[in-house]
Amino acid sequence: MVSVVVERDEEGRVQTVTLAGDDSPEGLAAVALVEAPILGLREYLHLEPAVTRDGHALRFEVDRSDFFLDREVDAVVETMVLGLRALARDGRIAVREVGESIKV
């Protein structure tokens, strides 16, 4: 089973995302959804999220070093969360959120 843990801070902002995946179609879809915001943060917003990979495990910490980009960062990572929730609705993956809900 593919699982994703989304950790939020006290303001409800995504801080870290941890994926434990596999080679199933669901696992590959989840990896793509988790890798997309990493690319967006790097290529579009010029931030450097901390990324750790180990086999089918992937973890990244959101770079919140530029206060003025918080809304853009939230848009990028919350879109990922919505995609992961869509996969979870079909029972294909498990998504667990830790912390507060997003307050936009």
Specify whether the CB–CB gap between 57 and 35 falls below 8 A. Answer: no
| Residues 16, 60 contacting (CB under 8 angstroms) | yes
Question: pTM to 2 decimals?
Answer: 0.90
Query: In this predicted model, what pLDDT tens digit does every residue of 29-79 receive, in sequence order?
Result: 999 999 999 999 999 999 999 999 999 999 999 999 999 999 999 999 999
Question: 2-98 has which fold?
Answer: Alpha-Beta Plaits (3.30.70)
Stretch 16-21: mean pLDDT, rounded? 96
pLDDT band at 92 (very low <50, low <70, confident <90, very high): confident
pLDDT tier, 90 (very low <50, low <70, confident <90, very high otherwise): confident
Q: Residue 84 — φ and ψ, nearest 5°?
A: -65, -40
Residue spans of the domains in the chain: they are 2-98
72 burial type by CB count under 10 A (0-12 exposed, 13-18 middle, 19+ buried): middle
Residue 100 confidence (pLDDT): 67
